[in-house]
Amino acid sequence: MELDTSPLAVPFPDLPPIAGVTPRIARAGYKDWGRCDLTYVELAEGTAVAGVFTQNICCSSEVELGREQARAGRARALVVNAGNSNAFTGYRGREAVEQIAAQVADHLGCPQGEVFVSSTGVIGVPLPKDKAREGVAAALNAEPCSWKDAANTIGTTDTFAKGAIARAVVGGKTVTLAGIIKGSGMIAPDMATMLGYIFTDAAVEPGFLQQALSAANARTFSCITVDSDTSTSDTVLAFATGAAGNQRIEGASCPGADAFAAALEDVCRQLAHLVVRDGEGAQKFIAITVTGAASDESARRIGLAVANSPLVKTAIAGEDANWGRVVMAVGKAGEPADRDRLSIGFGGVWAAREGLPLADYDEAPVAEHLKGREVTIEVDLGLGDGRATVWTCDLTHGYISINADYRS
């Protein structure tokens, strides 16, 4: 099945090379795709790494191993297999991951634990070891490729290549952060999501890199959802080569630490939005801002309850300002709320305030707003200072077609 490009697609940005990072691609042939499906990224010696991973209990061996490896904080290479997630494949799956790591470690002369492996695609089929061995061998000897080629190669049902860039000045030196990511179904991150990779030439201690990534993740990847389903393979890794030559960021109080963390969060937010923009069947990009909640976390949970409601998502698909469905979703979130203080709006126009529909509610500007590609929903709880913004897409016939009408 050939998917049309999402109407919410944006062009791939101009991503420069990152010193100390060399991407290459090859074709392992995991699926009958006429394109590359194996990505290999070589990293300079001394590269720091941090990661966030799916909380799904039935996670893949890749996630289990990656979580362990990230704790040690050092990386020399990344391999991403597309077309087979290798999840729920028991000891056979684990053997395939270890074979790949060993093959790359041999090539680079580095510890096996510094080679990170991710896989994405169908669940329950052990990654074929012969195809993996030949694919890795081809990638090791391939010419370096562009970021866009790498972004396309890690994709599965993605309809466009996704990349993001940010810069920060750290102690007088400019550092660059480049990220690539893939979606685009089974997206409901629970602390981490999907396969996303961020590369920077900044010099950063792994401990601070992890701290900054976890904080950014909480406000970006953990605030998006496409279909409420949390993947077994979700992984976001950040690699910092140090080649920019800035004074190493050792902790939050170092010069430039705030700027770096802000740039990292910027890249994470861009990448998270791109995943929503390529949500299966998406026709509209929806931002839901919740204010006046008991806490920020409560606001996020309420936002996600709205974002995951099939009735809210289909209403937006139908360009229907059905704020009653938003009320319902707020009420089922299991978070503090008071019906008689609740206000709901679309595109900045309140439809209901403090538990009552507005007598002079003018639906015309709201109807106009809902016709656009970018929709906002505002929810005010009237209880406290907690706030959060979450992002999702609408639920359309396209989602059903992709997931029911065609076999994977």
The footprint of its own copies (CB under 8 A) covers: 55-59, 85, 87-90, 92, 122-125, 185-186, 188, 190, 227-232, 308-311, 314-315, 317-318, 320, 322-325, 327-333, 337-340, 342, 352, 355-357, 394-397, 399-401, 403-408
Q: Taking a C-beta distance cutoff of 8 angstroms, is the pair 293, 381 a contact?
A: yes
Nearer to its own copies, 207 or 334 (CB): 334
Q: Is 79 helix (H, G, I), strand (E, B) or coil?
A: strand
**Amino acid identity for residue 58 in this structure:** C
Least Cβ distance, residue 31 to its own copies (angstroms):
15
Nearer to its own copies, 189 or 196 (CB): 189
Distance between CA atoms of residues 332 and 2, nearest Å:
38
Planar angle of CA 337, 338, 343, nearest 5 degrees: 90
Nearest to 337 by CA among 376, 372, 291: 291
Q: Taking a C-beta distance cutoff of 8 angstroms, is the pair 145, 40 a contact?
A: no
Least Cβ distance, residue 323 to its own copies (angstroms):
7
Least Cβ distance, residue 114 to its own copies (angstroms):
26
Distance between CA atoms of residues 126 and 128, nearest Å:
6
Nearer to its own copies, 56 or 222 (CB): 56
Nearer to its own copies, 314 or 376 (CB): 314
Q: Is 125 exposed, middle or buried (0-12, 13-18, 19+ CB in 10 A)?
A: middle
Q: What stretches of 246-377 show up as alpha helix (H) in DSSP?
A: 257-277, 296-307, 310-317, 323-331, 363-370
Least Cβ distance, residue 375 to its own copies (angstroms):
13
Nearer to its own copies, 238 or 329 (CB): 329
Least Cβ distance, residue 4 to its own copies (angstroms):
17
Just list the catalytic residues: 193
Nearer to its own copies, 253 or 407 (CB): 407
Least Cβ distance, residue 32 to its own copies (angstroms):
18
Distance between CA atoms of residues 38 and 11, nearest Å:
23
Distance between CA atoms of residues 86 and 62, nearest Å:
8
C-alpha distances in Å from residue 50, one per residue of 47, 68, 363: 10, 11, 47
